Amino acid sequence: MEISSLGEFGLIRRLTSDIVPKNAETVKGVGDDCAVVAPAAGRRLLVTTDMLMEGVHFDLEYTPLQHLGYKSAMVNLSDIYAMNGRPRQMTVSLAVSKRFSVEDLELFYSGLRMACEKHECDIVGGDTTSSLTGLAISITCIGDAEADDVVYRSGAQVNDLICCSGDLGAAYMGLQLLEREKTVYHKLLANARARGESPDSLPPFEPDFSGREYLLERQLRPEARRDIVEALHAAGIRPTAMMDISDGLSSELLHICSQSGVGCRVYEDRIPLDYQTAVMAEELNFNVMTCALNGGEDYELLFTVPLTEHDRVSAIPGVKVIGHCTRSELGTLFVGRDGAEMTLKAQGWNPLANS
Amino acid sequence: MEISSLGEFGLIRRLTSDIVPKNAETVKGVGDDCAVVAPAAGRRLLVTTDMLMEGVHFDLEYTPLQHLGYKSAMVNLSDIYAMNGRPRQMTVSLAVSKRFSVEDLELFYSGLRMACEKHECDIVGGDTTSSLTGLAISITCIGDAEADDVVYRSGAQVNDLICCSGDLGAAYMGLQLLEREKTVYHKLLANARARGESPDSLPPFEPDFSGREYLLERQLRPEARRDIVEALHAAGIRPTAMMDISDGLSSELLHICSQSGVGCRVYEDRIPLDYQTAVMAEELNFNVMTCALNGGEDYELLFTVPLTEHDRVSAIPGVKVIGHCTRSELGTLFVGRDGAEMTLKAQGWNPLANS
């Protein structure tokens, strides 16, 4: 169905009419000039926003729209958890070109809603408009936290332990894998054309993903770490600093160090890696540690805790102590397995490199 | 200066480092995973978002970037006032293609900041990334209001007066004027090329805007009606329903009527028009009343008040009573100067018409 046949308000109704707000604080969702929220007394509000552009942040050739909706939500939910908060409301703006149908947007929304339902976040508004080329997605998420619970990037202290959830580099390897299979497919198409055959005459392309499912999942369907925030809370641990790993561990660690005025030492043999990440890096001739440090899109949590929390934080499943904070004049160091020290560099993904 | 030479964080620093939050509720602005807000006790939070795409919502051939920044902010501020609230915080996301320089974004931000300073709204965050083609702008604005002061679209009652601020249709006439001069300019260029001359050899193009300054201002530099919200408050009037006129009076009035379950009668001879709007419509052979009803981008306030407020609301400068609400079965009627009745139609701008 063509989007223009529904019009803006018809489309919004179709995508959002059966959304029922779950949070008591959500007074009014979609349907007026503004959404209305009644913040719980004494709590701090957290606001984050992200913009995702087709061709820059995602490739629809290998990204199903449902997964894209899910991931678009997760990217924002992750920022709320990174402040030690809980997501509550979300606004979703889409600009779409002619090649998208109503059904495409329904797929996108189904993924988005799945993510929001899982994280108990209400979709309260947005904007749906047209674009001359491609798909643009802009999401704003509002969360909340008790005033004393909010964790900034700037609170790390000398001697604090540096901790990381999950494992790193897998999303980046997943991206490389998808790009490789895309190239294979395009070569098959080009060869068919060179032989004068129609691309339609080719057997269906079956990309080789066997044994790499984890990498694909990490790239296409990341999960914001609500479980880690809850586990820290249950253990009575308040991180001194925290952020989520979207641009790569190195880049994020440097943000925490510079904003906290500390240095750091992180250890190569402590960096969490998945087996599939290591195998894929080997196969593609990538340095797996470079992938883990600079790959990005992990959406894991990077945080610091006082040294006294060592035993309690180590006991949380999926959390690893990867180093500690030092006086800033000692620098921001990565210590190799052989003991060699290297200064960390922010070589994470630069969204403006192409602009 | 090329944007890529600064990188994402360098660019954000350059655009936002000297922004100092003005609202006491803004705890933390740009620089962490989220902005942090401490809502004033008992107040409701208002959230609105808008997305503006180059080639769909604006044409940079005749829209200075500073004006575009100003207008992008106003579009969102206007939605907060339309709920009878006060704007407090704003996030700003931009996706830019290669052809934009750091100086371009500084111009955009200077207009944006001018608007925010005037309306005492803090820029607390955003996202800056790249786009394959053109400029995409996504802004989210957060405002607040006492719980009892929030005005929805759904509160209009039978016999309520329908009121409108300012005048209508001028922004649309401004757009037509800019488009006309653009066409003239393109013809001059085409003729020069046909004569084998370089476009650079032409004398500087001087568009004919004399006596049309008001139309240009309404299109390029609209102003959200904080003054009207304050005047209503000072007069002790709480509108029963309100929204801002962005898609055209007809479309907005139909929203209020359907959401409030009422009908309406509005009178042609009460619709506020500026002299320049009428002259320009005449010149372009447009029906001026169609422009006023369906033109859009006026960013005036449309609201309803109890009949008992007639004298007090009429005494507010810049507010005009244009009709009244009726029982819904009487329909949504526009009454011409000759007494002829016509059913209102939403022929406002459809942002999805091209998609």
Say whether A33 and B147 touch across the interface (CB within 8 A). Answer: no
Residue ranges of E strands in A11-85: 26-28, 35-37, 43-53
Per-residue pLDDT of chain A (355 residues; tens, 9 = 90+): 888 888 888 888 889 888 989 999 999 999 899 999 999 888 999 999 999 999 999 999 999 999 999 999 999 999 999 999 999 999 999 999 999 999 999 999 999 999 999 999 999 998 999 999 899 999 999 999 999 999 999 999 999 999 999 999 999 999 999 999 999 999 999 999 899 988 888 888 888 888 999 999 999 999 999 999 999 999 999 999 999 999 999 999 999 999 999 999 999 999 999 999 999 999 999 999 999 999 999 999 999 999 999 999 999 999 999 999 999 999 999 999 999 999 998 876 665 654 3
Pick the more confident residue, B249 or B208.
B249
Q: Which pLDDT does position B200 carry in this prediction?
A: 81
Residue A203 has a pLDDT of: 83
Amino acid at A242: M
Measured between beta carbons, the chain B residues lying within 8 angstroms of A260 are: none
Q: Which residue of A has its CA nearest to B46?
A: A36
B39 — contact with chain A (CB < 8 Å)? yes
Distance CA A37, CA A20 (A): 14
> Residue B98 corresponds to which amino acid?
K
Residue B307 has pLDDT above 90, yes or no: yes
Spatial distance between the Cα atoms of A317 and A116, rounded to a whole number of angstroms: 24
The pLDDT of residue B104 is above 80: yes
- Averaged pLDDT for residues B339-353: 78
Count how many pairs of residues, chain A against chain B, have C-beta atoms within 8 Å.
254
Q: Does A93 touch chain B (CB under 8 A)?
A: yes
Select from B16, B303, B352 the residue whose CB has the most chain A CBs within 10 Å, as the one to mutate to test that interface. B352
- Residues A285, A287: Cα–Cα separation, whole Å: 7
Chain B residue numbers with beta carbons less than 8 Å from the beta carbon of A154 are: 32
Q: Enumerate the residues of chain B whose CB falls inside 8 A of the CB of residue A94.
A: 51
Tell the residue number behind the tokens 């690893």, with chain if given: A320
B223-262 burial, b at 16+ Cβ within 10 Å, e below that, comes to bbbbebbebbeeeebbbbbbbbbbbbbbbbbbbbbebbeb
Q: Contact at 8 Å (CB) between A205 and A186?
A: no
User: How many residues would you count in chain A?
Assistant: 355
pLDDT score, position A351: 59
Mark yes or no for CB contact B128/A352 under 8 Å.
yes
B-chain CB neighbours of A133 within 8 Å are 132-134
For residue A86, give the 3-state DSSP assignment: strand
Provide the 8-state DSSP code for B121. Answer: -
Contacts of A353 in chain B (CB under 8 A): 4, 130
Length of chain B equals 355
Which pLDDT score is estimated for A42? 87
Q: What percent of chain B has pLDDT over 70?
A: 98
Please tell me whether residue A339 adopts helix, strand or coil conformation.
Answer: coil
Cα distances (angstroms) measured from residue A243 to each of A39, A240, A352, B342 = 24, 11, 21, 59
pLDDT-derived band at B354 (thresholds 50, 70, 90) equals very low
pLDDT digits (tens, 9 = 90+) for B171-228: 999 999 999 999 999 999 999 989 998 888 888 888 888 899 999 999 999 999 999 9
**What angle separates helix A65-81 from helix A226-234, to the nearest 10 degrees?**
30
Cβ contact B4–A28 (<8 Å): no
pTM, rounded to two decimals = 0.94
> Which candidate, B292, B302, B320, B294, places its Cα nearest to that of B259?
B302
Which residues of B, range 51-90, sit inside 8 Å of A by Cβ?
Answer: 51, 53-57, 79-80, 82-83, 85, 89
C-alpha A248/C-alpha A290 separation (Å) is 10
Helix or strand holding residue B58 (H, E):
none
In the prediction, which pLDDT does B326 show?
Answer: 98
Q: State the Rg of chain A over Cα.
A: 22
Please name the residues between 149 and 168 in chain B that touch chain A, using a CB distance below 8 Å: 150, 152-154
**What pLDDT score does B56 carry?**
94
Name every chain B residue with its beta carbon within 8 A of the beta carbon of A34: 46-48, 79-80, 82-83, 85, 143
Query: How far does B33 lie from chain A, in Å, by closest CA?
Result: 5
Query: What's the rounded Cα separation, in Å, for the pair A156 and A96?
Result: 42
Question: What is d(CA B75, CA B247) in angstroms, rounded to the nearest whole number?
Answer: 11
Q: Which three-class secondary structure state does DSSP give residue A48?
A: strand
**Per-residue pLDDT averaged across B9-16, rounded?**
86
**Token pair belonging to B156:** 């209009």
The torsion angles phi and psi of A208, rounded to 5 degrees, stand at: -95, 95
**pLDDT of amino acid A354:** 44
Select the more confidently predicted residue: B8 or B299.
B299
CA-nearest residue to B82 within chain A is: A33
Say if the Cβ atoms of B89 and A47 lie within 8 Å: yes
Query: Would you state the pLDDT for residue A348?
Result: 62
Q: Which of A 100-139 lie inside 8 A of B, CB atoms?
A: 100, 124-134, 136, 138
* Residue B335 CB-half CA count within 13 A: 12
The tens digit of pLDDT for each residue in B108-158 reads 999 999 999 999 999 999 899 999 989 999 999 999 999 999 999 999 999
Predicted interface score ipTM higher than 0.90: yes
User: Among A104, A97, A102, which residue's Cα sits nearest to residue A134?
Assistant: A97
Higher-confidence residue: B355 or A346?
A346
Candidates A6, A49, A54: best to mutate against B (most CBs of B within 10 A) is A49
Element at B113 (helix H, strand E): helix B102-118
